Amino acid sequence: QSALTQPRSVSGSPGQSVTISCTGSSSDVGGYNFVSWYQQHPGKAPKLMIYGVTKRPSGVPDRFSGSKSGNTASLTISGLQAEDEADYYCCSYADTYTSWVFGGGTKLTVL
């Protein structure tokens, strides 16, 4: 099954904003509003940060926001903090094989 494409790395200084893109196709990102984003610190399990493209689970700071345009979804983190440094993965439902596909992950470095 096809995978989603993310930049390998992004960086920003404390207080700045960064955006991570996630590009798929009309069979996944573009076709469904089932895009989610996960934060993973080294040696830890992924943590759900955004679901349904734009929704935040309770407890996730409102500095994290999601959006989608066509076949590309985006995660924006505003007011960067040191603890935001982690790997971020996007995920989407894909009608191919009625399954879920993940992006390759983006390493966020807070300078």
Partner 1 sequence: QVQLVQSGAEVKKPGASVKVSCKASGDTFSSYVMYWVRQAPGQRLEWMGWINAGKGNTKYSQKFQGRVTITRDTSASTAYMELSSLTPEDTAVFYCAILRREAFDIWGQGTLVTVSS
Residues found near partner 1 in the complex (CB under 8 A): 1, 3, 34, 36, 38, 45-48, 51-52, 55, 57, 89, 91, 93, 97-100, 102-105
Burial class of residue 13 in the structure, from the number of CB atoms within 10 Å of its CB (0-12 exposed, 13-18 middle, 19+ buried): exposed
Taking the complex as a whole, how short is the minimal distance between the CB of residue 83 and partner 1, in angstroms? 18
**What's the alpha-carbon Rg for the chain, to the nearest Å?**
13
Our CB check for partner 1 shows the closer of 46 and 80 to be 46
Burial class of residue 28 in the structure, from the number of CB atoms within 10 Å of its CB (0-12 exposed, 13-18 middle, 19+ buried): buried
Taking the complex as a whole, how short is the minimal distance between the CB of residue 101 and partner 1, in angstroms? 8
Taking the complex as a whole, how short is the minimal distance between the CB of residue 81 and partner 1, in angstroms? 22
Taking the complex as a whole, how short is the minimal distance between the CB of residue 13 and partner 1, in angstroms? 27
Our CB check for partner 1 shows the closer of 24 and 103 to be 103
Block residue for tokens 């505003």: 78
* Per-residue DSSP letter, 103: B
Our CB check for partner 1 shows the closer of 12 and 66 to be 66
